[in-house]
Amino acid sequence: MDYYIDVDQLFDIIVEKNLRPTKEIITEISYDEDGNEVKEEITKTLYPSIEVNAPKYELLSTMIEVVMNQGPDDSDATLGFEHALEESDFAFKLAYNTLLHYEILKLNQ
């Protein structure tokens, strides 16, 4: 089985949601040559900076590291991946299943 990490999905999870551009209206006041007040409205679009949820990032980063470094034991390939997964330690199972659940770890079809 070939797996891959969906980086876009990971990004969507760790970046704070609802960071939408906002509009700000600025009114500039000036005077014409006759001394009359002239108001001009200028609309600016403000784009927020990207905010990463640090606890989510750290947790998912650790889980990816666990999955990449502690794969299931390949001692008996004839029994299959599911058996090897059942024999794996708790940390690997938790990391593997969490990454699958959040669709970060995907099976290459």
At 76 the pLDDT is: 54
Q: What's the confidence (pLDDT) of residue 50?
A: 78
Q: Where are the domains of the chain?
A: 3-19+49-107
Q: Could you tell me the maximum CA-CA distance found in the chain, to the nearest angstrom?
A: 93
> Which DSSP state fits 52?
B
* Mean pLDDT by groups of 10 residues along the chain of 109 residues: 89 81 88 90 84 93 92 58 76 92 91
Contacts with 104 (C-beta within 8 Å, 6 or more apart), sequence order: 5, 6, 9, 10, 13, 60, 64
Give the pLDDT score at 83.
66
